Amino acid sequence: MNKITKDKRDKLLIIGVLTGLVVSVLYAMVISAQRGQIADLEDKIFRTRESLDKNARWIRQSATVQANASAVVQDLDAVHSQMSPLDKFKWFYNSVEKFRAGYSNVSLLDISREPEIGEIGVLPKFPYPAATFGVKMHSTYHDFGKFISDFENNFPYMRIQGLRAEIDPAQRLAGASAMSNVDADKRERLLFTFKVVTLIKPISPL
């Protein structure tokens, strides 16, 4: 077997080194770049598949979501039906008088025709303003207490403030002797003044 000359060995060594360099450059410039692109594509495919799965779930749930939304709208309409419309005095007077009719020992004397309109201050950007009415009623202490309790339970979107009770001025002027011949129930009647704060139905939809 012929020995490889030193010159050929050097050439083979140079070729081997150059081949290694070429392979390294190709790996760095081509293969690594392609692997990076493949990784990006796999990530995009994963995110696209995840988005499609999410959209498919929304499509499957669309009927349920629509039904829930319709139920919420109906509930909101029911809430709004208990709130003050544009004609506030007539609505409030009719609401109070209709409810009071069930309490024979409670008399409605007066309601302020022009309510105070303002923010209720419950939450920031609360969408419902409030109307405040002044009210005067005539009743015994116990009958009025039951009326107020039932009223607040029946109208959850109204709030009573500033309640005051005093002896009816007419009774004070009449004097004890004149009132002695009046029924005890009437002598026990008090004059109640208070304010009712009620939410106003918004004009534009929420």
* Average pLDDT of every residue of the chain: 76
Summarize pLDDT for 143-190 with one digit per residue, the tens: 999 999 999 999 888 889 999 999 866 655 555 444 455 455 555 789
Q: Which of 116, 198, 205, 202 is nearest to 157 (CA)?
A: 198
Summarize pLDDT for 38-87 with one digit per residue, the tens: 778 888 888 888 888 887 777 777 777 676 766 665 665 565 565 555 56
Could you give the C-alpha distances from 150 to 92, 96, 133, in angstroms and in order?
Answer: 16, 12, 18
Structure tokens given for 195: 């304010």
The pTM for the full model equals 0.53
Summarize pLDDT for 74-108 with one digit per residue, the tens: 665 565 565 555 567 888 888 899 999 999 899 99
Contact between 134 and 193 under an 8 Å Cβ cutoff? The reply is yes
% pLDDT > 70, the chain: 64
